[in-house]
Every structure is written in structure tokens, then in C-alpha cells.
Amino acid sequence: MSSKILATFFLISIFVLLIGTRFNFTWAGGSGYEKPMVATAKIYSNGLKNEIEVQRGQLIKTTSNETAIIYIGERIIITINERTDVVIEKLFPSEVEITLRGGRLWAKTSSETEKLTISSPETSDFITSGSVTAVRYDSLNKTDITPFSKFDWSNSTDQDFFLWAADLMGVELL
């Protein structure tokens, strides 16, 4: 009888710890609950701007005449080129992760998140501050992710960053 009670208590304890670990509770070894960061996307098409709120897991897709800027929190900006598909995987202060399914992007962060991860089906890379560019070649099943050195954008506007990134990507704006 006592061995059945002990086994039941043991199984319940394991179950409770697994649930605690799943939800990242500190008493189960996690870092505690993290509130997701707020993200918005501005999609530019033929000079028109459409602004949408972005949720974790959402696909953002641009067509041949569209570009987009995703603002995450206060200081993370991701510029998306034409014909690009990205998915917002994580939106937490400890990590923001963007999956590039096709196309090109340019991102910059200023230490608002502990790490900004750019991933694809083949590879993944992250930065803690500065900027990064990524290009996914669908026909080659290859992704190039290139972190750049730190650059201080504190005195620049978001439009300056967008124009600079658009110029780097060869996008002609109207």
C-alpha cells in the first residue's frame, strides 16, 4: 500500500515539474514568464503605406512591388525587400527570432533583446546588437546571413534607416 502511495506521489511530482518547465516557471528552473514584445509592420506598395499589428507565428509576405518594415519593441527594426517571406517565431525580451523563408532582409537592434536570431531552413545566426543582413536563395536551398559591426543609429530616423537599407538592397523607392 505504501509503495503505491509513494509511486503515485512520485508520478504527480514529475508531472508537476514537467508542466512547470513547459511554462518556464522559476521554481522549475525557468526564467519566469516573459511578456511578448509589441510588433507592427508597415508595408509600402506603390507609395502607399499599410500598417498592421504582428503576432508571434505570423507570416509577413511582400510581393514584387512591396517592401516592409517591422518594428519590434522600441529599438528593433527589420526591413524586408520585395518578394520576401518571413515568419515571426519569437517576440520575447530574451530572444526575438525571425525565420527567412525566401528573399532578403536587413535588421538592426540596439540591445533591447538579449539576442536577435535570423534563421532559415538551413542555418541560423544571431546578434546581440548592431545589424545583420540575410538572403535566402530558394533555387540553391542556401541562405547567407552576414552580421555587420555595430552602427549607432540613435541620431537617425526610421526613415533614414529604411532609405539606407533600401539603397543597400537595390530597391528603388517612388
DSSP secondary structure of 13-74: HHHHHHHHHHTT-GGGTS----PPPPEEEEEEETTEEEEEEE-TT-EEE--TTEEEEEEETT
SS3 of 93-152: the string is CCCEEEEEEEEEEEEEEECCCCCEEEECCCCEEEECEEEEEEEEECCCCEEEEEEECCCC
Q: CA 149 to CA 97: how far, in whole Å?
A: 19
**Cβ atoms 116, 128 nearer than 8 A:** yes
Pairing of strands 96-110, 85-91: antiparallel
**Cβ atoms 129, 119 nearer than 8 A:** no
CATH number belonging to the domain at 39-169, selected among 2.60.120, 2.40.30, 2.60.40, 3.30.70: 2.60.120
Q: What is the pLDDT of residue 151?
A: 47
Nearest by Cα to 166 from 104, 109, 88, 85: 104
Mean pLDDT lowest among 1-5, 119-123, 154-158, 165-169: 154-158
Give kind and range of the element (H or E) at residue 76. Answer: strand 76-80
Please give the model's pTM, rounded to 2 decimal places: 0.70
53-110: pLDDT as tens digits: 999 899 999 998 899 999 998 888 999 999 999 999 999 888 899 999 999 999 988 7
